[in-house]
Structure 1
Amino acid sequence: MFLGDRHGHLAYSTLVHPGDTWAEMRESLETYAPAVKARVSPDETYGVSLRISGASAQTLTDDPAERRRLASWLSEHDMYVFTVNAFPHGPFKGRRVMEDVYEPDWATEDRVRYTCQVADILAEITPSSVAPSIQTAPLAFRAKVTCEADVEVLTRNVLRVVAHLIEVERTTGRRVKLALEPEPACYLETTEETIAYFRERIWSASGARVLCDLTGLPVSEVVGLVRRHLGVVFDVCHQSVEFEDIAAALRQLRDAGVPIFKLQAAAALRVPMVTADVVAALGSFTDTIYLSQTTESRDGQLTRMLTLTEAIDRWKAQPGGVREWRTHFHVPVFLDDLGEFGTTRDGIERALEVHADTPLSDHLEIETYTWDVLPAHLKSGDVTDYVSRELEWFQEQLRSATAALAASVE
């Protein structure tokens, strides 16, 4: 839905629904989107964040009639797509995903081709009033990037897609934006690393030369065009797991000139004090098909682990001590008190305060894709109720932040 020129477009991520193939995604879209719209936006145009997998991108690329059918269905139901999740290329539901979620990564031709296909689809199906965004992987799983040559390949492939986006806008008049999403355990992980990557690789002399070669345009043109088409997704959950100060991190990106093409609201599981009772209760969150990157803060030091299970095993081997855990397990944003645990929802609140003051992005999204693996005691209602409550909570929080800001300047 459109929240106004200052606050932008808001949607929930359809990554929560089955959608590994286009047939699955189409069924999910047609089943759930009208039901959610009826609750949260019955009388206004409704924005959609669409998951397009590699298989779906190929299906839509090969079938012009299906693209036209999708555009017509959206129009008939007073909906529009403004962003696509093209991060998970392969299966994401009903099977073990873990670090495979990053494959194929940005070192591969498959990732380049897939992302260009999604860009072409977006240029065709989205309204002309929208500059759609593509959410994509943080280059690669960190363990796979071992040398300078690896980084050069990753960067060149990203710039190849930027060159394609420049050509799409030249030929169609449609601007499509690519947004890299930093994530724990990946090559782009922290806000500082992300800013350094843009400065040293994308905006550098070498990055400009690559883009000049790919486009045939002079440096005077490409330095502006790369910022027009390449930025980041800021996922509040990811950066909260990194123990970042969310408001400060957003201001760092803003001040560095890194475009935030999507501000993503998601809350992580937070254990403010690790104890034997809490560790026992955490077992209900370990039976997951997704990575659960966990960061421990102890005596001012951060220790990063790939899964919650690893953190529990390390604690059992050496229990005790004052420590806090934050784990990459998305929990509903309208929940704050989970009994023995908490969440990092306050990071979303801080992000919205910054956004209310100085708009950070015109694409806003709630991404809680873990409905299928949430412990039963956290599920209330069905998935339509769940995402509707998230959208309602987000809007109320943004209204409160805006009102508080207005009151402070009176």
Structure 2
Amino acid sequence: MMHLSYCTNVHPAEDLDGVIAQLDQFAGPARSEAELDVVGVGLWLPAELAHELATNETSRDRLRAALERNGLEVRTLNAFPYAAFHAEVVKLDVYLPDWTDRRRLEYTIDAARALAAFLPPRADGSISTLPLGWRTGWGPAEDEVATAAFVELVAALEQIRDTTGHTIRIGIEPEPGCILDNVADIVEWLGARSDVIDPEFVGVCLDTCHLAVSFADPTEAVTAIESAGLKVVKIQASAALEVLTPADPASREAIAVFGEPRYVHQVRERHADGILRVDDLDEALATLPGNGPWRVHFHVPLHMVPDAPLGATTDVLRTAVDAVVATRPTHDVHLDVETYTWSVLPEPPADLAAGIASELAWAQRELMGARIE
């Protein structure tokens, strides 16, 4: 069964009043405009708000009332950004605190406890988290601390299941430039620890923009996850920018306008003998030869086709969704539309709720088909 939602990390709200306002102003109107009876929201809860909702019944009641009046439900959370995801400059700060910092573990447990309080009866939940941390300064000692944190997390998730009846699964989200850069990395890391990190509770969040940027074959990636005894616990429906002829002046001019100061936009260039990797778009324009196609970590709205000579990797998204459904036909699949970049598009929309509605309608039509729930 497929469950469609859109991720609220597109909104800058950091407290309960702000989250409720965003549901009233954007999520409810988008659901109505997309003509959906009920739509999910993949809530982004900053750390302080996650703790508040995990510990305060009055706050939970307020949020529950806002969800109900807007025809919304919650089955998944985004616990990747810890806080300040819409600061003037985010860049590599989005990977802090990493999984060597106890604050990351406590935040994730708070998020799981909060999610359990909002799930529909007998439903399981999913939470996405960062792929350990950014790659620099990471070694065996950091790996050991992170492993221990996930062991403790599993124990907390077992307790939540035993007390609430809800199984909450954590999806580690591979991302270019991080410790777990791609699907192969996470399969290796979790596979080597399956004796201590229970794959019933910790699996993979498959962000299809990140998957595309890595130039991985989506069907092979999903097969590798399943063959390792792991689960795709959540799909983040997203598309990357693609530049087929990056050495062409018109292509370089077109992609350059997507460079902006808030978020990091990793770029990969494919060659017959390997992949060239840089950490941001300005670096790519300055250093990459442009002899092969580029894929750029910039989440473009799913229903929008970039003007030529640019393209988007929506075919990777479609193929990945089909592969997950084919490998898990009797399981719930959480499909969370994650386009957090509306505000940094070269031409931001005048009506964000209408843009979100168009994306949801596209996802309903193009990704879910007869599987719509």
Task: Name the CA distance, whole Å, in 1 between partners of 2:157 and 2:368.
Answer: 35
Q: State the partner residue of 1:89.
A: 82
Q: State the partner residue of 2:365.
A: 396
Q: Which residue identity does 2:220 align to in structure 1?
A: A
Indicate yes or no: 2:336 matched with 1:365: yes
> Is the 1:336–1:345 contact (alpha carbons within 8 Å) kept by the matching residues of 2?
no
Task: Name the CA distance, whole Å, in 1 between partners of 2:210 and 2:157.
Answer: 27
- For residue 161 of structure 2, the aligned residue among 163, 166, 169 is 169
- For residue 189 of structure 1, the aligned residue among 181, 184, 187 is 181
Unaligned runs of 5+ in 1: 1-5, 209-225, 403-410
Which structure is higher in RCO with an 8 Å CA cutoff and minimum separation 6?
Answer: 2
Indicate yes or no: 2:6 matched with 1:12: yes
Q: State the partner residue of 1:150.
A: 142
| SS of residue paired to 2:240 | strand
> Is the 1:134–1:178 contact (alpha carbons within 8 Å) kept by the matching residues of 2?
yes
Q: State the partner residue of 1:215.
A: none
| SS of residue paired to 1:228 | coil
Indicate yes or no: 2:293 matched with 1:324: yes
| SS of residue paired to 2:28 | helix
> Is the 1:352–1:397 contact (alpha carbons within 8 Å) kept by the matching residues of 2?
no
Q: State the partner residue of 1:212.
A: none
Considering fraction of residues, name the structure with more helix.
1
Q: State the partner residue of 1:276.
A: 249
Task: Name the CA distance, whole Å, in 2 between partners of 1:83 and 1:352.
Answer: 17
Task: Name the CA distance, whole Å, in 1 between partners of 2:369 and 2:121.
Answer: 31
Task: Name the CA distance, whole Å, in 2 between partners of 1:371 and 1:149.
Answer: 38
Indicate yes or no: 2:30 matched with 1:36: yes
| SS of residue paired to 1:385 | helix
Unaligned runs of 5+ in 2: none
TM-score by length of 2: 0.93
Task: Name the CA distance, whole Å, in 2 between partners of 1:68 and 1:179.
Answer: 27
Q: Which residue identity does 2:234 align to in structure 1?
A: K
- Aligned residue pair count: 369
Q: State the partner residue of 2:229.
A: 257
- C-alpha distance 400-176 of structure 1, shift in aligned 2 (>3 A): closer
TM-score by length of 1: 0.85
Cα offset for 1:55? 2.3
Indicate yes or no: 2:271 matched with 1:302: no
Q: Which residue identity does 1:324 align to in structure 2?
A: P
Q: Which residue identity does 1:180 align to in structure 2?
A: I
- Structure ID, larger Rg: 1
Cα offset for 1:381? 5.3
Indicate yes or no: 2:281 matched with 1:312: no
Indicate yes or no: 2:122 matched with 1:129: yes
- C-alpha distance 380-74 of structure 1, shift in aligned 2 (>3 A): closer
Q: Which residue identity does 1:30 align to in structure 2?
A: D
| SS of residue paired to 1:47 | strand
Indicate yes or no: 2:368 matched with 1:374: no
> Is the 1:352–1:401 contact (alpha carbons within 8 Å) kept by the matching residues of 2?
no
> Is the 1:162–1:178 contact (alpha carbons within 8 Å) kept by the matching residues of 2?
no
> Is the 1:19–1:51 contact (alpha carbons within 8 Å) kept by the matching residues of 2?
no
Q: State the partner residue of 2:218.
A: 246
